[in-house]
A and B are shown apart, each in its own frame.
Chain A
Amino acid sequence: MNDIPLSYFLIVSALLFSIGLSIMLLKRNMIFVLMGIELMLNAANLNLIAFSRQDDQIQGLVFSVFVLVIGVCEMSVALAIILQIYRHFKNIDLGAEKSRF
């Protein structure tokens, strides 16, 4: 039974990270930017899990649990802030005339 080489995981994770970065830079909608950030967090998480495959003490796995928790906290707080911005400016586009971000 042969396993998947470590470099495959790293290449997929690099691709996901760069796609998340491109979404973050490309889109004007704040929710879209947030989804790009989530994608980047998950790419980092995949790296941690792929490296912890060869670890006797599972530090990478435990660390990825905490990364998951931080991602959820960031998501909920950011969506609440976006909701307030929408109530104030009626617009959530970055760089729009009304919201001036």
Chain B
Amino acid sequence: MNPMIAAFLVLAGLTCASALAMAWTKNLLHAALAMFLCMLGLAGLYVMAYADVMAVAHLLIYVGGVLILILFGIMLTQNSRADQYETHNDLWTKQSGRFWALSISLSVFLGILFILNRSMSSFGMVSNEIQRSTKLTHVGLALLTEYSFAFELAGVFLLIALVGATYIAKHHE
């Protein structure tokens, strides 16, 4: 077997298995850990798609930022129990009915597969030569020249969102 394909299959298996574990478990902290593994596998998949810039950015933002934010959210919204000093990390969550959720998502998955199968022949028309080099220079140049307005707008948007989040999370009297 081709080593590229083998590495891809390992990474895809890690990503999909940890996503399934997220859906399976009822424990919120186990789900956060599974999300960590899922983000690691996704970053590996980005590397396999020759997008190393996005892989590094994804690792920095999701593993370093968003997951910590989620863990803080879990910590701050925990229901206080009678035994506060229990050291177990079992945060059980409730579930809705399984039937509708699983059937709807399974039918969405099969529908997407059907569409992909139908349009598989047209992928060959758009495919140019695959660029196997790193795209860091191209991404930097494109962000600061062609997409500079959108880039600045994204920065302003991020600032507004963070200021708004801190204002919302403030303890209003």
Residues of A within 8 A of B (CB): 1-4, 6-12, 14-23, 25-29, 31-32, 34-36, 38-39, 42, 45-46, 49-50, 52-58, 61-62, 64-66, 68-77, 79-84, 86-87, 90-93, 95
Determine which of A4, A52, A86 lies in contact with B76 in the assembled complex, contact meaning CB atoms within 8 Å. A86
- Residues of A near B84 (CB, < 8 A) are none
Q: Chain A's nearest CB lies how many Å from the CB of B48?
A: 6
Verify if B85 is at the interface (C-beta below 8 Å from A).
no
A15 to B165, CA, bound (A): 32
Let me know if A27 and B95 touch, CB within 8 A.
yes
Let me know if B77 and A31 touch, CB within 8 A.
yes
Determine which of A9, A23, A52 lies in contact with B45 in the assembled complex, contact meaning CB atoms within 8 Å. A9
Q: List 6 A-B contacts (CB under 8 A).
A: A1-B4, A17-B108, A27-B96, A31-B73, A61-B135, A80-B169
Let me know if A76 and B94 touch, CB within 8 A.
no
Q: Which of A1, A35, A57 has the most CB of B within 10 A?
A: A35
Of all chain B residues, the one with the shortest Cβ separation from A23 is B23
A32 to B95, CA, bound (A): 10
Main secondary structure of the interface of A (DSSP, over half): helix
Main secondary structure of the interface of B (DSSP, over half): helix
A79 to B139, CA, bound (A): 31
Contact with A along B120-161 (1 / 0, CB 8 A): 100100111111100100110011000100100010011001
Q: Assuming A31-B73, A69-B154, is B130 touching A8 (CB within 8 A)?
A: no
Q: Chain B's nearest CB lies how many Å from the CB of A49?
A: 5
Let me know if B76 and A46 touch, CB within 8 A.
no
Let me know if A66 and B161 touch, CB within 8 A.
no
8 new A-B contacts, CB < 8 A, other than A56-B128, A58-B135, A65-B54, are A26-B98, A26-B102, A45-B58, A54-B126, A54-B127, A66-B154, A72-B65, A77-B168
Residues of B within 8 A of A (CB): 2, 4-5, 8, 12, 15-16, 19-20, 22-23, 28, 31-32, 35, 38-39, 42, 45-46, 48-51, 53-54, 57-58, 61-62, 65-66, 69-70, 72-74, 76-77, 79, 93-96, 98, 100-102, 104-106, 108-109, 112-113, 116, 120, 123, 126-132, 135, 138-139, 142-143, 147, 150, 154, 157-158, 161-162, 164-166, 168-169, 171-172
Let me know if B12 and A53 touch, CB within 8 A.
no
- Residues of B near A27 (CB, < 8 A) are 93-96
- Residues of A near B20 (CB, < 8 A) are 19
Of all chain B residues, the one with the shortest Cβ separation from A92 is B77
